[in-house]
Amino acid sequence: DHCVTGVQTCALPIYADDSGEWVAYGLENTTVLIEDGVVTRLVPSSNYQLGQGDVTVTARGRWVMPAPIAMAGAEDEAGLERWLEGGRLVDATLTGIGSIVLPEALAEGPHGRCAASRLAELEIPAASVIGADAESLAALDGVPVLDGSLGPAQALERAIRDALDEGRSPTEILAMLTTMPSAALGRPSLGSVEPGAELKVLVLDENPLENPLSILRPHAVTFGDRVMRRAEIEVLRDASTRGEEM
């Protein structure tokens, strides 16, 4: 099955030009085809006909970009472990976050393996967990670190607003959340919507190259071959919360 997203603008890789300025290009009126979680083609929307079994998000006037990669922050190991809670990982997805980076020992420990299993089975529509060794964590210097004392939405919003206050451009901020961490982790396909890339994709109501805060409320997110609209994820999150309270 294919996920098909017909979009106004598809944000392609962001890169630093010869002068060190971050540059982004986009394709207008483009359909992104995803199979088994991998982008297979980018085609003009006018040239693509839906096939049997295709899943589509009506996205005219919307934008597509890679789901951000964020560093988990906390004062201690117990605080970092809380990022592995299913509810917090779902909340991260509702905030537009595609992956949370944690120290390798935590990501591969019991809580990390449990979260990875639930994600692999699509039991919960949540941000993925990426374990990073000391060398990779050091290479992530400059990537926003989420304040563990806040919820994912507040933490990412603060990180973006802090970067804007520092005078960083929206394009550079998107690079800090996509291109830079994916390269540092040795997984560049997580940072670009292009053929061969295996990643979560955000569908946004606003242009993130003009307003990076638009990431915080995605219209939809892809999970493998599935496209889930924000309202669907919120329903599952509420059901999960009620189950925990019973």
Question: What does the pLDDT look like over 119-152, one tens digit per residue?
Answer: 777 777 888 999 999 999 889 888 889 888 888 8
Structure-token match 């290479």, residue found: 139
Is the predicted pLDDT of residue 1 greater than 50, yes or no?
no
Structure-token match 């300025």, residue found: 21
- The SS3 call for residue 14 is strand
Residue 226 burial by Cβ neighbours in a 10 Å radius (0-12, 13-18, 19+): middle
Q: What does the pLDDT read at residue 59?
A: 58
Q: What does the pLDDT read at residue 119?
A: 78
For the chain, the C-alpha Rg in angstroms (whole number) is 17
Mean pLDDT (the chain) is 84
The β-bridge relationship of strands 99-103 and 128-132 is parallel
What does residue 85 show for φ and ψ, rounded to 5 degrees? -70, 135
Confidence label for 4 from pLDDT (cuts 50, 70 and 90): low
What pTM was estimated for this model as a whole?
A: 0.87
pLDDT single digits (tens) 190-243? 998 888 998 899 999 899 999 999 999 999 888 877 788 888 888 877 755 543
Is the predicted pLDDT of residue 163 greater than 90, yes or no?
yes
pLDDT single digits (tens) 34-53? 887 888 888 887 777 777 66
Inter-residue long-range contacts of 109-115, CB under 8 Å, 24+ positions, other chains counted: 111/81, 111/84, 112/84, 114/84, 115/84, 115/86, 115/89
Closest CA to 83 of 37, 130, 137, 125: 130
Is the predicted pLDDT of residue 5 greater than 80, yes or no?
no
Q: What does the pLDDT read at residue 214?
A: 94
Is the predicted pLDDT of residue 7 greater than 70, yes or no?
no
